Amino acid sequence: MNAADVSPVPSSARTQSGVDLFMIFAGANIVATTLQVGAALAADFSPAAALLLVAGGATAGSMLVAALAVVGPRLGVPSVIAARAALGVRGAGLVAALLYLTNFAWIGMNNVIAASVGARLFGGDAAVPAWVIGLGLVSTAVVALGPRAVGLADRVAVPLLLAVGGVITWAVIQAPPNLSALASQPAPANPWFRGFDVVVGYQVSWILMFADFSRYTKSERTAGMAVLLGLLLTSLWMMPLGLASARVAASADPGAMMAAIGLGWAGASLMVLATVTTNFVNIYMSGLAWKSLFPGMGDQASIWSIGAIGTAAGLFSGAWLDRYAEFMMVLGGVLVPVGGVLIAHFRLSRTPVHVPDLYDAAGPYRGVLVPGVAAWALGALAYYLAAPWGGTLPALITAIVSYRILACGWALR
């Protein structure tokens, strides 16, 4: 398997186990940014309210991604190619471009979070750029070896992450509460549904990789369950851990949280390992997106250029942590409607897809398919109009219903 191959995976090559697929998603989600979602809720919600939001949002977002994971085994193509069936070649190109650009933010953000923690233990603030560059190079090198190398690396890294995460969990339980910080917490300033949108927005940030790894698995049921459990179980663990750490530290800064719960190398190990495993996925997704837009570019050139740009972004991304919740809201507004369109096309209508047509720029999926792109736009509009009260459900429902109506009308032309 090549590092950024967008061609169909033949049925005979779909030998990836459910365990390996679970490991890829779990390894991608046991990461500092998942902790950061819980931390982002700490200032605005009580612990009980925040935990309810985590449970509901993580479940809803994970189910949405898992519902689409079955498309991988069904078609054997990556997500940016499968999306052409609902959006058209150029419409799916918009998704690919969005994926390509936002992944630079994710790569940079992951690197700077890990670097901020690692630098506290070794090198100080002056060493942060070196940490960022080192982490970026390691992640890129593994992805350049291909999906099988990523799976093997995750088999080693994920058990280590689980062990280190257990140590951090115990440290949070044992840490004395910061009573003055708890007393100074403001009354909830944001509606419940806005907090729900933050959690769902993070979970559905994985939606554009719904078929990228599952296409190497033969069984649709296995793929769906592996993705669901890989995302949901890790979120239900890591988000509350971030919430508790932020309340102990009275800060959402990852370095401050690890210091407040009394962890040095264990906390740094989690951040560093988690950054590497999640950036495996981010770099790979960007590589597929780029190859779908520019098929003539070589795999290695795509992967290494993406890794280099994402690493460079990490040198300037510290300010992003201050706007983390807003970033999740923007992602949710764009990605939830895409998920609704794809759910409507692949799960509700189950319209037959002839795979070779997905690669034919002059075929039935050429250009922009108006029903899919229009439903995406309407869903995004619904999200932002309903944002003060919660945009996730209105956006999802609007995208699904409008796509079904528009697709039926388009077929009758």
Side-chain half-sphere exposure of 214, counting CA atoms within 13 A: 32
Alpha-carbon span 56 to 53, nearest angstrom: 5
Q: Is 146 left (phi over 0), alpha (psi -120 to 50) or beta?
A: left
* pLDDT for position 49: 87
How many CB atoms are closer than 10 A to CB 157? 20
Q: Is 123 left (phi over 0), alpha (psi -120 to 50) or beta?
A: left
More confident residue, 341 or 45: 341
Q: Residues 257, 261, 262, CA angle at the centre, nearest 5°? A: 115
CB-CB contact of 275 with 112 (8 Å): no
Q: What Cα–Cα distance (Å) separates residue 94 from each residue in 25, 185, 287, 331, 354?
A: 24, 41, 15, 14, 22
Identify the CATH number of the domain defined by range 13-321: 1.10.4160.10
**Beta strand ranges found along 176-257 (DSSP E):** none
Q: Provide the sign of the torsion angle of the four alpha carbons 117, 120, 126, 130, taken in this order.
A: negative
- For the cut 50, the answer to whether the pLDDT of residue 142 exceeds it is yes
Q: Helix 47-69 to helix 32-41 angle, to the nearest 10 degrees?
A: 140
- 8-state DSSP, 287: H
| Non-local CB neighbours of 207 within 8 Å, separated by 6+ positions | 64, 65, 68, 335, 338, 339, 342
Most confident of 55-64, 193-202, 261-270: 55-64
Alpha helix stretches (DSSP H) within 126-178: 128-144, 147-174
More confident residue, 203 or 320: 203
Q: Chain centroid to CA 28: how far? A: 8
| Non-local CB neighbours of 385 within 8 Å, separated by 6+ positions | 391, 394
| Non-local CB neighbours of 100 within 8 Å, separated by 6+ positions | 286, 289, 290, 293, 306
Residue in the structure block whose two tokens are 């995004």: 380
Q: Which two tokens stand for residue 185?
A: 């917490």
- For the cut 80, the answer to whether the pLDDT of residue 353 exceeds it is yes
* pLDDT for position 182: 47
Alpha-carbon span 68 to 167, nearest angstrom: 34
Taking the domains of the chain in order of start, what are their residue ranges? 13-321
Alpha-carbon span 126 to 199, nearest angstrom: 33
Alpha-carbon span 218 to 17, nearest angstrom: 8
Find the mean pLDDT for residues 256-268: 72
More confident residue, 275 or 413: 275
More confident residue, 89 or 109: 89
Alpha-carbon span 294 to 288, nearest angstrom: 10
Residue type for position 161: L
pLDDT band with cut points at 50, 70 and 90 for residue 413: low
Q: Quote the mean pLDDT of the chain.
A: 81
* pLDDT for position 230: 94
| Non-local CB neighbours of 408 within 8 Å, separated by 6+ positions | none
